[in-house]
Structure 1
């Protein structure tokens, strides 16, 4: 293989031209020649750099201000023109060298297995937590097929890359929506084996293309492993057809797109989905009974009456996590005790239900607390922990936590080593700042020295006293009595800490305290 290379001209339709204008990897013999091209280019660049330096010295020489009149020596203008030409040649040659160097990049020779693993991290979604609303996205993994023929081959041979079908119609208004989407979705289904469907309908646009898309997806219901669906009224007649066709479905999330969408008495099509382990139903506007098999569930989330919550807790022996949103009824004291032996993490919207619960394995609990709550949280939680004999170590309070009650909880339940406080309204700033002040170590007292991790956050445009937060962390970090090892500060859209506070937080992080700053308090429940 012999070809003459010029930095100025790369002959079209040669292998060299093809490599420079694609992402294909070179073979061994091509790599040797490319390396030779780079070496010769480096030599030429070195000569140009030397010429450039000489010309700059001549132009900038201060002792001989161009007094020669022999008409042979170059003028200053001629020297500058020559320098400009060399600089342009040097830039062109540097770009040429960079393009050839890119041909030898390890990325082009990465093993297909490793490339496929990277692709899976690029295109995949987290398997942890709830199936939240996604974004309208039909680009991934298509973009991977446009880089090179090798990338295309790896992408097409990896069915898992094509398993996520994410359609959010709430942000779309195109007239030709179905024409644009159908070919992409059909091809994606053909290339996948299992499917994770994230389908959010909208009442604001024509329902026909949405219904057609759901009908297309329903043809492959036996492949569904995950379904996150936002329902509108027009979709309800299609749901019964899913019954007995969801044997592979493991994770389910249901929400309603507006109050007018809840035009049914119940949802029963998931009753035979025997593989379900994770279910979430967000009844934002009214309670719609939804039936599903409960025995295998390891996680559930439901907005519904207390009696429904009780039934699920009784029927889920493998449950590890629950979000118990008691709503749509006027709850009154219930003498029946619900004992669940495996539940480890729970969010409970109404702490008043604690006397009815016994969770011996519970490690973390979260509550929504209101300024209008007339409850004794320290007594309720202390009684619950004593009755359950549980290893409770993490407490999250969200909404409008009371400072005095929070400190009492920490003192009366010393097993709590992680505290998360997130406020939802500006009126609660006084309380969260009071909690921070109480946790600041003084010469006379140290509150809850057992705390190992502290997290604070504000939703929307609220912000805590960042200076007091930093002072509290510093005091606990320096105290020999405190066990602090980590802290997090969640910020939504409010003011950020000052530069001095950020420097202080960075110093603490460098010194050994875990991540000290984060974003989006709205995500931390």
Structure 2
């Protein structure tokens, strides 16, 4: 036999009938166990309802996922869409402000299917632009993402646009170290480099300048634009006596160098012998 307890005061019954209680109230000690039982019952019911809601939401998400039109698009077409979106040569985005790292990151984060398709599309990873002023976060800390990025390009030719210029910044030394580490990682794929444009402080390009001749067998175009708050040859000893990396590049057809009038990297470059 169970006895159902009822609140001992009419005032408490009136309070429980209201959606909200404002102001202080006085409870009879005998009412407290009743209220605690009511609270436990409400919490138990709420947990049950939350579990049901979660199950219904999961089912709805699954059904929407299955019925999504993008699921019926062949992966080849999806790859072409991604390439059109993330390749500056075909993107409707202003090329000057184009951020290929952000674009590929956004596409790869939508869902597992998109990430798999993007990672299986080497054209997305055969072009890399890094702008130190706009993307300093890419050069801070671990830069191992560069190798992962370029590896997805498989055997496709690699086009680089590295903008290592900066204004006055407190972490300039850390960014310079990150830029050097990034360039060293990129040069692990030097046999694929087709074009390379480097703008900014050319002292950050020492890993490139120190390579031996015939290192860039696929290079067709090189563009070096030097400007820095420090002189290029402030410490000439950091450069090799002769920069021979561009020798033995049989496909090299275009070389552009832009630099201050008072100093030139040309005096360090080794040139092919012309008979």
In the superposition, the TM-score normalised over structure 1's length comes to: 0.34
**How far is 1:269 from its partner?**
2.0
Q: Provide the alpha-carbon RMSD of the alignment.
A: 3.5
Q: Find the partner of 1:183 among 126, 138, 144.
A: 144
The 1:114/1:158 distance shift into structure 2, 3 A limit, reads same
Aligned residue for 1:255, secondary structure, equals strand
Aligned residue for 1:11, secondary structure, equals helix
Question: 5+ residue gaps in structure 2?
Answer: 1-52
In 2, distance between residues paired with 1:212 and 1:220?
A: 14
In 2, distance between residues paired with 1:135 and 1:209?
A: 22
**How far is 1:224 from its partner?**
1.2
The 1:242/1:134 distance shift into structure 2, 3 A limit, reads farther
CA contact (8 A) 1:167 1:198 kept: yes
Deviations 1:302-351 (A, max 9, x none): xxxxxxxxx9xxx9xxxxxxxxxxxxxxxxxxxxxxxxxxxxxxxxxxxx
Aligned residue for 1:142, secondary structure, equals helix
The 1:134/1:287 distance shift into structure 2, 3 A limit, reads farther
**How far is 1:292 from its partner?**
6.8
Q: Find the partner of 2:165 among 199, 202, 214.
A: 202
CA contact (8 A) 1:134 1:198 kept: no
CA contact (8 A) 1:272 1:292 kept: no
The 1:171/1:150 distance shift into structure 2, 3 A limit, reads closer
Q: Find the partner of 1:11 among 33, 53, 56.
A: 56
**How far is 1:259 from its partner?**
6.6
CA contact (8 A) 1:273 1:292 kept: no
Aligned residue for 2:144, secondary structure, equals helix
In 2, distance between residues paired with 1:242 and 1:124?
A: 31
**How far is 1:114 from its partner?**
1.5
Deviations 1:110-147 (A, max 9, x none): 222111111111111229xxxx9776653231222222
Cross-structure match for 1:151 = 114
Cross-structure match for 1:254 = 224
1:33-112 aligned within 5 A: 103=68, 105=69, 107-112=70-75
1:243 aligned onto 2:213:
yes
The 1:261/1:108 distance shift into structure 2, 3 A limit, reads farther
Paired positions, count? 201
**How far is 1:251 from its partner?**
2.5
CA contact (8 A) 1:162 1:192 kept: yes
Cross-structure match for 2:47 = none
1:192 aligned onto 2:159:
no
Aligned residue for 1:244, secondary structure, equals coil
**How far is 1:148 from its partner?**
2.5
1:140 aligned onto 2:74:
no
In 1, distance between residues paired with 2:205 and 2:251?
A: 23
**How far is 1:153 from its partner?**
2.0
In 2, distance between residues paired with 1:9 and 1:236?
A: 54
CA contact (8 A) 1:221 1:242 kept: no
In 2, distance between residues paired with 1:162 and 1:233?
A: 25
In 1, distance between residues paired with 2:96 and 2:187?
A: 19
Question: 5+ residue gaps in structure 1?
Answer: 1-7, 27-102, 294-310, 316-525
Q: Find the partner of 2:76 among 94, 113, 116.
A: 113
In 1, distance between residues paired with 2:258 and 2:210?
A: 20
Deviations 1:85-107 (A, max 9, x none): xxxxxxxxxxxxxxxxxx3x3x3
Deviations 1:345-378 (A, max 9, x none): xxxxxxxxxxxxxxxxxxxxxxxxxxxxxxxxxx
Aligned residue for 1:152, secondary structure, equals helix
In 2, distance between residues paired with 1:186 and 1:259?
A: 30
**How far is 1:255 from its partner?**
0.7
Cross-structure match for 1:221 = 190
CA contact (8 A) 1:232 1:261 kept: no
In 1, distance between residues paired with 2:66 and 2:246?
A: 49
In 1, distance between residues paired with 2:271 and 2:82?
A: 34
In the superposition, the TM-score normalised over structure 2's length comes to: 0.60
